[in-house]
Structure 1
């Protein structure tokens, strides 16, 4: 009696299609790509134009690596969009499952790590102890960035090269259906390791945010210290909020969805709901692509100065211009942001 039931469950799982409702997600991914591409390219151009000396800071190192993760996501996102449409050639969909889908997750977890470093760095900027100064050295930031990229490649690249099984061609390809044996086990291990990375990054985010709040509470008796503490808390809280909204919902759904991928959960309706939950929260994670340029502007003074210098309306008059406009300007109150 057990064998027929098991065979029936396997056959039912094989016929279960979970990704036949991707049209709304595809439209949203296209919008994210259209909005995120100009912002990321402008960010690249602005950082290129920024003076090299001003970028030799630990925060700039982390921001540049976050930008690199965004560019990696921009390269992989069109492949995901075309695959989710369901009309791409079979070989293209298989390529997405083996390569570009893995690239999406490399970018995702690189963004998680570097956002956590940025939040920690923002807190350390107000702690003038010897230990905090060492943690903010450019060499240490570069070493930490290299370690993150190497670790992610070590975890994720085997998913690209491990053997996959042949499946019958059909319109809605589920990437997990290509995996078997060691490929499926490594995929589950990858999810576990990436979740561990997320939990460690989240611990750094919450500790830094908590210490920033604690510093604000301690400085209530000193107006000057309280002003500095409020400014530090605002910058930490802004990035921490973006981090939580982007990545926490996805990881709440990720573990049960992995159980469905590894066939621990076999009920088709449950698998469909978990897949839709995963795609919805993954969309939130990818959405950070649109807001990261604002983060660069808010957190990097070289970025702000260079971007303002590139805008005609914010350029200062040169010495060769007539003194009359300058004299007229001096007679009027100035409210430009550069003078604040």
Structure 2
């Protein structure tokens, strides 16, 4: 039976919000089953790919893959908790550690997808090819800063004190938190929201500039082909980014207010929890599509896949084309042309 909204009048702890996790669990299991082989194959392909660390795009893609592997590592604990098949100690472990790991992975994916979109735009603008953001060392430094920042924000959620609760079938992770832990959790949510908003602004600007370049190149057939290809790749990644992460962040803030008991009506809290879980499912779904992103965006990755899984009679020509794509292109400067 669905608890009535009046159940929160005597105490918010009486409101059970996570007793309808069956459908979500089935979908999480399917995502895990589909995403695991694709990402493990991606690890193998990246290891075997030639020049896998000589382009800024590859740096961001490798870091995106690391974020996916973290999510794959943490997802089974969430599945077991939501199934009700986990012992109490494992449920507490999920709330303290693996749930936090899921959110570290989530925001790392947001950051690196934004970097990939920006990098694709800069690659298309030959006049901007010498910007520092496309240097290999800077790409590694930027990636390190992202990971350190996320760990600085998230790790306190793992180590701050928690309450001793009696074992119960439906454990809400927020009910384990002491006041200081709940306050830090709220601060974490808003800091990550700021990260998401900045990344989204960069994605929108890059996508808009790419579209502007496409419209401005209609008079030149050669420029039109190049601009259309660049716009296609940037738009595809940007749309995947928006569909995966925007719905979750629309629900995240009101759900955080419910966790902090600013919203106390049980029916509203249940709806917010179901909305949060539904949109979180969308963010996790990128596990299944990221291997396709690696294949589509990075020529050495495609070349290695073609070599590992040869098919068709035109493989030699395909390999030659891929190798030409891998060669660095340097724009002709004025002094070189003289």
Report the CA distance between 1:226 and its aligned residue: 1.2
Q: Which residue of 2 aligns with 1:228?
A: 226
Report the CA distance between 1:338 and its aligned residue: 5.2
User: Structure 2 stretches of 5 or more lacking a match?
Assistant: 1-6, 322-338
Q: Is the 8 A contact 1:61 1:142 kept in 2?
A: yes
SS of the aligned residue for 1:173 comes to: coil
2:21 is the counterpart of 1:33: no
2:90 is the counterpart of 1:74: no
Query: After the TM superposition, which parts of structure 1 deviate over 4 Å for at least 4 consecutive aligned residues?
Result: 314-318, 336-340
In 2: Cα distance, 1:68 partner to 1:297 partner: 16
Pairing of 1:188-337 with structure 2 (within 5 A): 188-313=186-311
Q: Is the 8 A contact 1:215 1:229 kept in 2?
A: yes
Q: Which residue of 1 aligns with 2:172?
A: 174
Q: Which residue of 1 aligns with 2:120?
A: 122
SS of the aligned residue for 1:313 comes to: coil
Report the CA distance between 1:55 and its aligned residue: 3.0
The alignment yields a C-alpha RMSD, in angstroms, of 1.8
Report the CA distance between 1:265 and its aligned residue: 0.3
In 1: Cα distance, 2:315 partner to 2:72 partner: 38
User: Structure 1 stretches of 5 or more lacking a match?
Assistant: 1-7, 319-335
Pairing of 1:125-140 with structure 2 (within 5 A): 125-130=123-128, 132-140=130-138
Per-residue CA distance 1:172-219 (angstroms, 9 max, x = gap): 000000112110000000000000000000001000000001111111
In 1: Cα distance, 2:9 partner to 2:69 partner: 40
Q: Which residue of 2 aligns with 1:19?
A: 18
In 2: Cα distance, 1:178 partner to 1:315 partner: 60
Report the CA distance between 1:169 and its aligned residue: 1.3
In 1: Cα distance, 2:32 partner to 2:122 partner: 34
Per-residue CA distance 1:109-139 (angstroms, 9 max, x = gap): 0000000000000000011235753221111
Q: Which residue of 2 aligns with 1:58?
A: 56
Give the structure with higher Rg (CA). 1
Aligned CA distance change for structure 1 residues 317 and 228 (closer, same or farther; 3 Å): closer
Report the CA distance between 1:283 and its aligned residue: 0.1
SS of the aligned residue for 2:195 comes to: helix
TM-score (norm 1): 0.89
